[in-house]
Chain A
Amino acid sequence: MAALKHLLDFEGWRRSEVESLLETARLMEEVLERPMKKVPALKGFTIATVFFEPSTRTKTSFELAAKRMSADVVSFAVSGSSLSKGESYKDTLLTLQAMVLDAYVIRSPVAGMAHQAAGWLRGSVINAGDGRRAHPTQALLDAYTLLDELSQLEGKKIAIVGDIAHSRVARSNAELLPLLGADVWAAGPVGLLPEVLKGARLTSNLAEALSDADAVMVLRLQKERMQDGSLPSIREYISEYQITAERMNLARPGALLLHPGPMNRDLELAGTLAEGSHSRVERQVRAGEAVRMAVLYHLLVGRAA
């Protein structure tokens, strides 16, 4: 099996590759349970986090993952950088490349940015979110969190709820989870549903999506959606689509509740549910670090000719 060089989305990935990566993540989690949470595996590797869009948790999670593996990390954030002086994305990345880097973790508001970067750069590119296109490590950590308790996803019903149309998290999950055998449903108000979402069944009927679901994945509702007219009113969203304890009862008993964060409490999700027995939100955060350690290992080790 040829080692994969980039993680841009899951196009071309085989189930066995995903499973092997998630198995490595499980072993990485053992490292995170140690008193000294660090291994020398990526000593000598340099990794850049390049965020053309603000993010705290994803960036922190990647940087921590890289440091746990003993890689050197340089962090490039858009504020205060040359980008604000008109330097292009490409020039910015090529300047970083001149510092001899092994991997670039790239977040950008532009869909397809990571794919383009993979063509410009010699090192590995990890997509940390490009526009509304893809956010593969989020989907991996969601799959990891689900597998942790469901042990396998074959035939499991996963409901993604909220602003499906604008969500890279929904798109990446709809790509990844069916690869592992899951049956993915995506529900939201008509104005927030895309025409098609490959890998998922779309519905504006929330009850249909939630019915007997093994897990419910709630997306963050972005307030900009009111301004661009795709959502008429917050009050209406809350009354029709907010995930409440009552609506969770439509799902299977003990169904898992996931949220990629940051959360708008009492908007997409009734506030008390976040800490309730269904919630795996904290588990997702820990899973994120282990999954990103595994991604770095899989992309970087074994590339020398």
Chain B
Amino acid sequence: MSALHAARDGPITEDFFKALGRVKHIHNDVKVLLRTNQQTAGLEIMEQMALLQETSYEQLYRWAQNECRALTQESCDISPVLTQAMESLQDRPVLYKYTLDEFGTARRCAVVRGFIDALTRGGPGGTPRPIEIHSHDPMRYVGDMLAWLHQATASEKEHLEALLKQVSMQGVEENIQEVVGHITEGVCRPLKVRIEQVIVAEPGAVLLYKLSNLLKFYHHTISGIVGTSLAALLTTIEEMHLLSKKMFFNSLSLHASKLMDKIELPPPDLGPTCSLNQTLSLLREVLASHDSSVVPLDARQADFAQVLSCILDPLLQLCTVSASNLGIADMATYMVNSLYMMKTTLALFEFTDKRLEMLEFQIEAHLDTLINDQASYVLTRAGLSYIYNCVQQHKPEQNPLANVPSMDSASLKAAMVQFDRYLSAPDSLMMPQLNFLLSATLKEQIIKQSTELVCRAYEELYAAVMNPSSQYKEPETILQRSPQQIAITSRKQLEWASAPPKLMSRFSSGELVSSYPKWRSSGSSLSCLLVRLEVIVQFENISAVVLQELYWIVVVVEAVIPKKEVIMTLTAKLGIVLSNNHRQEGLGIKGNQVVKPGPGSGPDMGRIKD
């Protein structure tokens, strides 16, 4: 009893809690007395105990409040007595709540002051340096502030957990979250003002994007501590995230609208325009920073469609508009080149499947134009164009073919001489536009398919001439070669003539290799995977070693999800490149066998799992 009284103005001790417990105990025990005929005594004792209890609780509350009020240093050691006090006070919810409020207010002050100190004063003797020293470097500045707050939030939660560890009532977890939310509310204003300043200064699209990712990351990280409750700090971070994202997309749209304001004409070599190259390099930068972003994969995917449509759609429109005054073949070449640049840019990034498919489709359409053009170019130059038209338009009920003007055997023979010349050097008859194609593979594809068209035309001509109803005398002397011979010859000539592919080198080989597992994990479809691999194996600076590593990754990754087709394609492609390399570099690789690297030389497995 004296312990309770003694505590009136002295410190609270262990004894206080013992006495308080005893009083509570007596209060309960006395209830028995009420059932006997000692009721008066019982009531008196009860009253006395109740009074004692109330004054003690109030005393305890006042003490605890004072204790909490003093907890304004950066270090905050919760004494066991205070913990015990909170345990006792839970019997008086109002006092308990007030004490927690007091604690929250004191800590809130401490955190704000600590934050301002870290921003402006730094540590002892200037190390660590004040955060604001790096305000010229937006990522570092914002990152340091948020990291400081993350650590402060974690510490504050620990303090609260220490304070309330003996409290057994329900909803302690909510209490903690609520108070942590209150404590961190004070820093919101200084934080917001500073981040806003950074964002409004328009640090450029890429930085804005990185900032928005950073903010998102910390929103995620800090909400892990304060829970998903609507803490003011989280709201502020989210606001800043949305602001930076909005500014980022604004900046992209601005870029796009500038493009459309002043449309650049296609250059004479029908290659990509400067503005296309610039925009693609912006896109690449954004995608690459997206790549290195700290935001989880699924969250990243969501932004992607928007970024792509913000940049790619205006680009496609730009190309179409700027090509509108070109001739058909020029336009097709220009479009294929532009689309090809977009494709190679996108192929190295994840979540681009849909766009890749679309680009591929558009390229195909323009290729068809070029293939037909090239075939008719050859036929015209070889003097077969008119003859072929006659054959096509000739109907059996008309005069025999031999009697049609300019279809006599002499004219045919003259045309065949020219055609023979073409056959001996198919390269000589090539539309000038084809030489402007950036992709050697596409150029080859055009030549190959147009040659097939030419062969088919010859086949028709041959059939018509050999037909007795055409009434040619000794048709074998007019057309000395069979269509099969033509096909074989032209194919052979093409193989002979095909130049080593013209390749691009904008990425380092290491980047290529490390990007493969990413597409894989992002669930790239099989066909897109092949498109991407196609782009990869065309890089000229890709060495045999890198290819082997890539092959190795594919084999390892695919072993988990077996996709034979991918491996086969890659093996074949690598085989060709390797044997080329073998020829060029004299590497000791036998034939086109891919040498599987031994253990230890393979890539970091962690990277694949990632």
A and B: interacting chains: no
